[in-house]
Amino acid sequence: MRLSFLLLATLLLLTFSLQSESENTNEIKQLHDQQCSGCHINITDGDGAVIYTRSTRMANSIEQLESLVKHFADGSDAQWNQAQIKQVTNYLNQTYYGFIEKK
């Protein structure tokens, strides 16, 4: 009985954690899309994601990617704080780049 309770509690916590992470990712994606997609769509004549998947990338490391996110956020007057810059950087890295983060 106790083992069943512990297993159920663990599964509920894991489910809540995954749902919370998914909701957070959706919020960060919306933050990115609201601020970045319009310009990217204009530059590429339609598919803004091409900016991230083209063969000649502007970023070749997580540090360069974060620097670019900050640069373009500042340039577009996004008024993102450092946490938002980091979140968008991580979102882009997970979605498009796959850089290994240095610890």
In a domain, 103, yes or no: no
In a domain, 83, yes or no: yes
What would the pLDDT profile of 75-97 be if each residue is shown by its tens digit? 888 999 999 999 999 999 999 99
Domain carrying residue 11: 2-97
Q: Are 91 and 29 in contact (CB under 8 A)?
A: yes
In a domain, 102, yes or no: no
CA distances from residue 102 to 39, 44, 61, 87, 90 in whole angstroms, order as listed: 30, 32, 10, 16, 13
Taking the model in full, what pTM does it have? Answer: 0.73
What would the pLDDT profile of 29-51 be if each residue is shown by its tens digit? 998 888 888 888 888 888 888 88
Number of domains in the chain: 1
Positive/negative CA dihedral, 92, 98, 62, 56: negative
In a domain, 21, yes or no: yes
